[in-house]
Amino acid sequence: MNLELGVRRSFTGLFVVSAPAADKPVLPTGINEYFVPTAASSYEPVLYGSARVQYTDTKRGIDVTTALQAVTPITDNAVAVDWDRASSTDVAPDALSKTPATPAARFGILPAAARNPKNYAAWADDFEQWVVRTKPLRLFAAPTHKLSSTPGETEAEFAVRVQHAIREKRDAAVETLRAKYAPRVTRATEKMRRLQDSVAREEQQASQQKLQTAVSFGATLLGAVLGRKAVSMSTLGRATTAARGVSRSMKEAGDIAQAQERQHEAEAELKEIEAELEREVQELQSAGPDAAIETTEIKPRKAGVDVRLVALVWKPSGS
């Protein structure tokens, strides 16, 4: 029998000297063995455990079931199997093979405890207790925003989702605020538009009145210069009309000034409303979002742990 002695990296991450590799040992009746379906030149024995774990919390409305797989070394120590030394594995029970991927591979020495069929039932019980004791479901919550993480969602992923929700909530609040101000802005804008039209009409009327007054004065002056008499009845009438035109022009000027003042007041009112809206929008956007994240853990109950398989598994050495 050829033996090979090498240095390998154990499952716990410590560098130890491996046991001599040899042919696959013959197991006693009652012990099932499986293989990780990966080709390798040599394999080493580990104890494999798989369970479906249900986590429930009626208060939080949580009821989820997850799959859990772990492997741990089998030793010749007084405590042959210590699940606290286990590490997780992605290999599901259905992926395990009944035959090695490399038939000519060498196999590590199998500790004596792994050759006793009665030990596997005890190790299965230990596995179940280990899951209950050390495998809580960790969830994250943002109570202010009534958000909770989903199973498997990391804290960083949940934080991104919370920030997105905060932005959406803030944007919705801004839109609600703008909708609240919309009627006031519309009324003030319409008022300003009407006053602008009023000023334009007053200015047009004043311009026409000035033109009429100028014409009346011109006609009066021309009549006075060219008429036979210095002042005729018609000249006097035109002078009176021109004088009344001057009076109306002065009144028109006063009306324009009043209309312009009202227009300026309306413009100031609209600007004040818009400034008030902008201040409130800035307050919403600049307010520091409450993104506090809390961590909660839900321990599985023993009744919620369904052990699917605890068995001897051969895995590639050093993996």
pTM for this model (two decimals): 0.59
Token digits for 236? 């006097």
Please tell me the distance from the alpha carbon of residue 235 to that of residue 223, in angstroms, as a whole number. 6
DSSP 144: G
pLDDT digits (tens, 9 = 90+) for 109-145: 999 999 999 999 999 999 999 999 999 999 998 888 8
Amino acid sitting at position 173:
A
Sign of CA dihedral 121, 123, 128, 133: positive
In what order do the strands lie in the sheet containing 294-298?
147-148, 137-142, 294-298
The predicted structure's pLDDT at residue 31: 96
Please tell me the distance from the alpha carbon of residue 49 to that of residue 86, in angstroms, as a whole number. 10
Share of the chain above pLDDT 70, in %: 76
Residue 299: phi, psi to the nearest 5?
-80, 140
Amino acid sitting at position 149:
S
**Which residues, other chains included, contact 157 with Cβ-Cβ below 8 Å and sequence gap of 6+?**
149
B/e letters for 227-256, b = 16+ CB within 10 Å, e = fewer, are eeeeeeeebeebbebbeebeebbeebeebb
**Helix, strand or coil for residue 73?**
strand
Averages of pLDDT over each 10 residues, the chain, 319 residues:
34 40 87 96 97 91 91 96 97 96 93 97 98 94 86 89 89 88 86 78 64 52 50 51 53 69 80 86 74 89 97 93
Select from 22, 1, 2 the least CA-distant residue to 317. 22
Say if strands 87-88 and 147-148 run parallel, antiparallel, or are unpaired: unpaired
Please tell me the distance from the alpha carbon of residue 209 to that of residue 252, in angstroms, as a whole number. 8
Token digits for 295? 């961590």
Please tell me the distance from the alpha carbon of residue 95 to that of residue 34, in angstroms, as a whole number. 10
Please tell me the distance from the alpha carbon of residue 210 to that of residue 219, in angstroms, as a whole number. 14
Please tell me the distance from the alpha carbon of residue 307 to that of residue 80, in angstroms, as a whole number. 20
The predicted structure's pLDDT at residue 227: 52
